[in-house]
Structure 1
């Protein structure tokens, strides 16, 4: 049993409490786990980050492993992004108060971003759920977020003192937002949205304001729905993707045994069985024209991912993406438990944490090991995917705050925010603890990155 589980198992239930009672209950948890105790980090006994990384390689395509190594060796922040399992091991051995919610599980700075809701609103939210799991202590996500802030800040040339203040700022905005959410009715919390246009209005940088406004409003209309579509061409056999190896290519050009899948059958199965009936009926107006492998992300490089090209009778494209879901790193190290197919875990976690979910998000019920490990979604819009990077690079302090407050809203949807608010309190003890942990872990991550770079057999 992990330290997190042990602490949680010793706590009384808080279900059925009023907001006032929940706040008092959360406050009482400080007696068992003082907020100041969360500041500490010491490498767990038997820690071997390279061995942990090597174990995760087994589930990845061999042809993409060199690319993953190249990306992770680039910088400490890139390594942190790709080493979610390493941090999962470390966090599973740390003290935590037992205040639980649906967790992102890989809550670093670049797993937030902008996307279009089904209604066409541009929202900011958590946007990666490969490691998500229910009933996980809130400090799991917060520690990873704060640590990623510290690592990114140092990499961007800020001093240690400044990096610590940024990490503290992420925790503070999380805490203050949770205090606000704690007095709201559950229904109202569930419907809170973070509209990016409102965020842009708060920026004082005129040039950045104009860039973000252009990204939000440019391309509105039918062309926006194909903005993330890779290059396609019409051949004698019909429409198809244009190969761009090694990131995009057809399966018959791949040597990986793991890539020998019947993609058309897989996509059609998820369309028929995973989508809600009103959405699945939409596909009667489209025909599947082509499928191909597409590498994505940093931590996800090597995980099987593919895209499908659908066309209407008038040759109007629609692109969907499927991705293989491995068991979460949180499950691997005893932080969480999940019964059922991994694809369902990812889809269900996204629906819980995101304010407005992709209408094409789908996962099959447990019909077989092959189909059950995949989930499907709309291919991301390229126009919006770069907004998080732009904010991080040009408005880092504001971006850090945005991520902290957004995470609080995401956690509040699946928890009793008054308990979290009661534990964290109205002072700065919690913020300081998260910032101290973040700086200690940034140092650990830097050493892990060096060890990884020095070991040519790490992947």
Structure 2
């Protein structure tokens, strides 16, 4: 376990700013612009295959099929590939709790415990302490890749990446001037998004997204994911994407459900105890997660029409872990939960972790709690740029909770040097993503890996 050094609270703001400016000598801001693959760069398909060795082999073709769909889909599933590439780049040494996979689609809407709809990071499978710029670079790369797929010009793709990075920089500067509690309570309420939208067409899309998110609840999932059999709700069997849990899996899930309960606070255990276990199924989710063990559990409260859906996801080592000093958590489920609680402005009340069969780590969360994500495909240049700014702002708020925001702000400075450098990196790494995507599609065509693109 790493031993933390003196916290920001033990040093003056002047000392912290001096530390940030000193980091420029080790890693000039302009140094972030460079990307060139080394001759010993690992083969991206080999990296993905190594990741798949301990996953469910029957599901891996779904993962590869989804990743071959487009360069952006490849980027989503290739966090391990980019982590190795980032590890070869110069580092600032300014550490935060990284999301670890901060691409555009890992931001979105969700409900706070007070039932407010918030915009924030929403995926933490790869969270780990590391250099703040790794998240910023992954965000910027995803912006350029998405812009190209939407047919935007290179100039507009570059501008969107600059704006995402500039939003991060200016937000960190603003947060550096606030007190600790003010930073901790900072959040982006979804209702504040509409005034930021200039075009009427984009505003209608945002309003539609907010409406859909508010409808995505456990009750809505009950109608979509279940059917009534012999008078009882049962999760629909739709293999391979949604498959009823077998007898052995069901027994194991009931056991780990009890263990998970112990990681919740007392009042939330009391709430959970008012629900009864009804049914469970294995579910395929996302792109990069495909092949890991993931289940959904249906619980019933007051009656059958008072459902709660929980998701159980296997927590594996972060893709960042092999490239960075050891983190503070041995249990991978604990790592994910702690990272989410630290990075998100408000957390899921049912977030918890436990150890499952064969010593595998898992974490639990609500399956649907007014969650929603942006439809990035087809966004106009103006809409994508606005969304990129929003993501950059949200990322800065998340980093400010765990890292030294004053030191980071001093490192970034007031000019756009860092913004332009990261945007240039994003441009060249987006080219690399296209090349890697082509390598994967060629491997599929050659029969090296098998893909199921229709799933």
TM-score by length of 2: 0.90
Matching residue within 411, 427, 444 for 2:432: 444
1:292 correspondence with 2:276: no
Paired residue for 2:324, among 334, 341, 348? 334
- 2:247 is equivalent to residue 247 of structure 1: no
- Residue 389 of structure 2 is matched in structure 1 by 401
- C-alpha contact (below 8 Å) 1:125/1:406 kept by paired residues: yes
Structure 1 counterpart of 2:57, from 50, 55, 62: 62
* Helix, strand or coil at the partner of 1:454: helix
Query: Does 2:338 match 1:345?
Result: no
CA distance in 1, matches of 2:33, 2:251: 47
| 1:204-243 equivalent positions in 2, closer than 5 A | 204-217=198-211, 224-229=217-222, 230-236=224-230, 238-243=232-237
Indicate whether 1:277 and 2:258 are aligned. no
Structure 2 unaligned blocks of 5 or more? 451-455
Measured after TM superposition, the shift of residue 312 of structure 1 is 1.9
Are the aligned partners of 2:356 and 2:362 in contact in 1 as well (CA < 8 Å)?
no
Structure 1 gaps, min length 5: none
User: Which string of whole-angstrom CA distances, capped at 9 and with x for unpartnered residues, describes residues 209-258 of structure 1?
Assistant: 2343344356869x8442344421232383210112221111339xxx9x
Out of 170, 189, 198, the position equivalent to 1:195 is: 189
Supply the distance in 2 between the matched residues of 1:410 and 1:370 (Cα, whole angstroms): 34
- How far does the alpha carbon of each residue in 1:128-180 deviate from its partner, in whole angstroms, 9 at most, with x for none? 0000012x100111111111111111111112222111111111100000000
Match of 2:301 in 1: 312
1:360, 1:374 → 2: CA distance? 13
Within the alignment, does 1:376 sit opposite 2:364 as a pair? yes
Q: Secondary structure at the match of 1:58?
A: helix
Deviation at residue 49 of structure 1 after TM alignment? 1.4
- Change beyond 3 A, Cα 1:157–1:245: same
Contact persistence 1:44–1:90 (CA under 8 A): no
The match for 2:374 among 358, 379, 388 is 388
The number of aligned residues is: 440
Q: Is the 8 A contact 1:343 1:372 kept in 2?
A: no
- Alignment check: 8 A CA contact 1:341 1:372 kept: no
The 8 Å contact of residues 217 and 368 in structure 2, kept in 1 or not, is answered as: no
On the 8 A contact 2:209/2:374 being kept in 1, the answer is no
Contact kept in structure 1, 2:280 and 2:295, CA below 8 Å: yes
Corresponding residue for residue 34 of structure 2: 40
| SS of aligned partner of 1:98 | coil
Tell whether 2:97 aligns with 1:102: yes
In structure 2, C-alpha distance between the alignment counterparts of 1:24 and 1:334, rounded to whole Å: 24
Distance 1:203 1:250 in 2: 43
Instruction: Show the counterpart of 1:146.
Output: 140
Matches of 2:400 and 2:49 in 1, distance apart? 35
2:237–2:243 contact (8 Å) kept in structure 1:
yes
Displacement of 1:388? 1.7
CA distances 1:430-454 after superposition (whole Å, capped 9, x unpaired): 1011011111111111111101100
Quick check: 2:295–2:313 contact (8 Å CA) kept in 1?
yes
Deviation digits for residues 253-291 of structure 1 (CA, Å, limit 9, x no counterpart)? 9xxx9x797122222321x21211101111232110001
Alignment match, 2:453? none
Identify the residue that residue 164 of structure 1 maps to in structure 2: 158
Between the aligned partners of 2:139 and 2:429, the Cα distance in structure 1 is 11
Q: Is the 8 A contact 1:92 1:335 kept in 2?
A: no
Which residue of structure 2 aligns with residue 25 of structure 1?
19
